[in-house]
Structure 1
C-alpha cells in the first residue's frame, strides 16, 4: 500500500520523519508495557515447565509409596515349560507346586464325505448340508455360513475362514482323488469348541456329516500333595494364586519334581522406580537452578532469585536427606551431591533390598502407626511419601503453588495485553492528529506563500519605472 506523504509541500520539512520520531516518544509507555508482557509470559512459561517436572516427581514418588512399592512383584517358575507373571495383587512369598497333567487343545473335525478335487462342487455330496450353522459350547448359534449353488470345496473353505465365527477350515488330501474338509475351532478347551450343524440337522444330530478328530480339551494341573485338579480352557491359569498367572506349554505328569511357582519382590522393577524418581528430582532441581540463577556474563535469569522456587528446592532436598527411623537415605544408596543434585547407587540399593527389604521399605515408604503395650508409635512418611507431598502441594491442578503462580502471570499478561491494545488505539488517534496538524500547517504555509507572491507582484507593478502610464 502506498502512503501519501506531505513532506515539504510548503515548508520543506521532513514531516514524515518528524511524525515518526514524535510517535516513538508517544509509544515509550507502550514499549514498557510490551517489555513487561514478555517478562510475564516468560515467567508463566517457566512456572509451567517447573510444574511439569514436579508432577513427574509426584508420579514417580507415588509408585514407591505403600501400595506402589508393594506392586513390584515377580513370579518365578522351576519349570522352563511354565512361564509365570505376577501383578500387584500377588502376595509376597506365596508359592504353589503342581504337575501339568495335560495341555489345552482345540476341537477338530473331518468331513465324512470326500470330493475328487478341491474344485468339485461342494454340494455334490449330501453331507454336510448347506447352509451350516456354527454353535458355541452352550449350543447358541454364533452365525450361519451360506454358499452359492455352484460353490466349490475351495469356496467352502474360504467362506468358513472369512466368516469370523470361531472356526477355520482347510482341505486335507488323503489320496489322489480323495479330498476332505477339515474344520478346527479357534478357541481351545471345552469353552472354545464350536459345533457345525447342517441344514438337515438339529442340535441333537449336529455334525453327523463329520468325524471327530480331536475333542476340545482343557489344560489340567494337579496340585502337589492333594491330588486335586484345576482346569483351564486355555494353557494359561489365572488367579489360582491371587494376582498370579502362568502358561504351560508341555504336559509332564510323571516328572520327578513338580513345578513350583513362587512370588517375590521384583528387585529390578523397584530399582528402576527409584531411578525414575531420582531422575525426576534432578530434572526439577536442574530446571529451577536454570530459571533462578544467572550464569556469569549471561542475561538475568527468567525467575532470578524467585523465593517460591528456592523454597521448593529446599523442601525436595530436605525430603531426601532426612533420616527415616534413625536411618539415612545413604543406607539404600541415595546421597546428596555438592552441586545440589541426588546421586543413586543402584548396586547398593539392590544389595540392601536383597538383605534387608524391611529397611528399604521403611526408608522409601515409611512406617505405619502401631501400638505396643499401650504405647502408640505414630506413622512416619518415607522419602517417597515426603516427595509426593511436596510435589502435590506444588503441582495440584487447583491449589498447587506453581499452578497459581503460572495463573497469576497469565492474568497479568492478559491485563498488560489489554492495556497495549488500548494504547494502539490512542497511538493511532495521536498519529492521525499529528498528520492532520502538519497537513494543515503545510496548507497554511502554502496559502501564505501564494499571498506573498501575489503581493510582491502587485507591489512590483506599482513601482515599476518602465510601466507605461
Structure 2
C-alpha cells in the first residue's frame, strides 16, 4: 500500500481528503453492513419466538395426549400407606390391610480367619442357588476372605457379600439378596454346582454359629378383610402395583386395621395444566406484540416520528400469531372457551378463570376434559406448523434471513477488497501530485535564481 506524508509540496491534508473520498466510496458497503446488522437482529428475535413456540408445542402436545387430563389424586386414611394414581385410574375407594412387609434375605456365615481349601490345597469352590434353582459357581482367587467377597460380587449371582469383623482376627461373610422379597431367596454352599446337585456340598447356613438374619419374604395385604371375599395379594417390594387399575399403594408399616384408599378426580391438577397452557399462549402472543409495536420518537427539532417494531409488517409472523390466537379462542362443539374459564382480552391476550373451570369440571368432568384437550390439540397443531424443522413457517423465515446474511457477508467482503484497491489508487495519485509539485517548486526556485542573476548583470 502506498504511503505519504501530508502536504510536503502542496500543503494539503491529503490523508483527510482521501478519508473523506473513501467515506463516500464506502457508502454502499455501509448500507450493506446496516442491513446485515438488521438481519442478524431479526434472526435472533425469530429464534427466540421459535423457542417460545416450541415450548408451547411441547406443553400443548402433552395436554392433548390420550388421558393426559384424566388426572386423579390418591389419598389414604393412614400415614402407614401412601398411594399414587396414573391417568388410567378411575375414581373410587378400597380398604387395604397390610399384614406383612417385604424384606430381603440376609445371611451371615460362621466366623473364620480364611476360606477353606479343597483336597488339593486350592481355595474351595463356592456355589449360590437362587429361588428358581439357578446355580452360580465360583472359585476365589485365594483363601483370603477379601478374594471371596470379590468373587461373589463379581459373579452377578443372587447375593452380594461383605466381610464383617467377628473378633480375634476372624471375620464373617454377610450375604444380602440382590432382589427383595421371596423371589430373592438364596442358599449358599461350599462346593461345586455338581456337588450341590448331588447333595454332597456343605450348606454354610447349617453351621451352628451361622444364621439367617432375615428371611426373604414378600409384602402381603388383604382386601375385603373379614368377609367371604377376603383376598390376599403379595409383592416383592412394599409397593403394591396396580392395586386398582392405575393405582399403586406403598406400605411403610403393618396396619392393624383396614386403611381406606380414596381415588378422586384431581381438578386442581387439571386446572393447573389449563392455566399453564393459557400462560404459554400469552407468552407467544405477548412476544409478538412487543416486537410489532409502533413507537413514537421526537427528533432534535421537536418533530414526531413513528417507528415500527422488528416484526411490524412481517406477514409470516402475523400469520403465526393469528393461528395461535384462533386455536385458543375458537369455539369447541359450539361452546366458547370462556365457558371453561379461558377469556379473550381487548388486547388480544387471554385470562384464565380457575374457579369457572373447576365449576365446569364438577358439573361435566368428561366434557370439560374433552374440550380442554381439543383446545390443546389445536394449539399444538398451530405451534407445530410454525416450528417444524422442515416445513415450519418460522423455521422458513429464519432460514431465509440466514441465507440473506450469508450473501450480505460475501458482498461486504468483496467491498473490503474494492475499497482497499481504491484507497491505494488515491494514495498513489496524491503521492504523484506531491512529487510533481515538488519538482515544479524546485524549477520555480531555479528560474527565480536565474532571473535574479540576469537582472544584476544587466545593471
Give the TM interval when normalised to the shorter protein.
Answer: 0.7 to 0.9
Counterpart-to-counterpart distance in 2, 1:67 and 1:167: 43
Say whether 1:405 aligns with 2:397. yes
* Residues 241-267 of structure 1: per-residue CA shift (max 9 Å, x gap): 444433223344xx553x555554433
1:209 aligns with 2:208: no
Q: Distance in 2 between matches of 1:61 and 1:19?
A: 61
- Give the aligned partner of residue 372 of structure 1: none
Q: Aligned partners of 1:244 and 1:145: how far apart in 2?
A: 46
Find the counterpart in structure 1 of residue 235 from structure 2: 232
Match of 2:303? none
**Residue in 2 that maps onto 1:246:** 249
Deviation string 1:435-454 (CA, Å, 9 cap, x unpaired) is 11111111111222222323
Q: Distance in 1 between matches of 2:249 and 2:70?
A: 18
Q: Deviations over 1:245-297 (max 9, x none)?
A: 33223344xx553x555554433332222122111111111111111003343
1:107 counterpart residue number? 105
Find out whether 1:434 has 2:426 as its counterpart.
Answer: yes
Cα offsets for 1:348-390 (capped at 9, x unmatched):
323432342123123212xxxxxxxxxxxxxxxx322222222
**1:158-211, Cα deviation, whole Å (9 max, x unpaired):** 7689769542446486x9999755433243223223433325783345562225
Q: Contact conserved, 1:145 with 1:163, CA < 8 A, in 2?
A: no
Once the two structures are TM-superposed, the CA of residue 460 in structure 1 deviates from its matched residue by 3.5
Shifted more, 73-82 versus 389-398: the winner is: 73-82
CA RMSD of aligned residues (A): 3.5
Work out whether residues 157 and 170 of structure 1, in 8 Å CA contact, stay in contact via their aligned partners in 2. Answer: no
Structure 2 residues without counterparts, runs of 5 or longer: 298-305
TM-score normalised by structure 1 residue count: 0.80
Which stretch shows the higher mean deviation, 437-446 or 193-202?
193-202
Structure 1 residue 140: deviation in Å?
4.5
Contact 1:293 1:305 in 2 (8 A): no
Structure 1 residue ranges without an equivalent (≥5) = 116-120, 366-381
User: Is 1:167 matched with 2:175?
Assistant: no
> Conserved in 2, the CA contact under 8 Å of 1:33 and 1:420?
yes
Alpha-carbon distance between aligned partners in 1 of 2:77 and 2:181, rounded to the nearest angstrom: 25
Equivalent in 140, 144, 150 of residue 146 of structure 1: 140
The number of residues matched between the two structures is: 434
| CA distance in structure 2 between the aligned counterparts of 1:390 and 1:327, rounded to whole angstroms | 20
Contact 1:62 1:388 in 2 (8 A): yes
- For the residue of structure 1 that corresponds to 2:294, the secondary structure is coil
* CA offset digits 1:6-61 (Å, max 9, x no partner): 31121111111000000000001111111111112212222221122222222222
TM superposition score normalised by structure 2:
0.81
Asked if the contact 1:64–1:384 (Cα under 8 Å) also holds between the matched residues in 2, the reply is yes
Q: Using a 3 Å threshold, how does the CA distance of structure 1 residues 457 and 61 change in structure 2: closer, same or farther?
A: same
Matches within 5 A, 1:67-106: 67=66, 69-70=68-69, 72-88=71-87, 90-93=88-91, 98-106=96-104
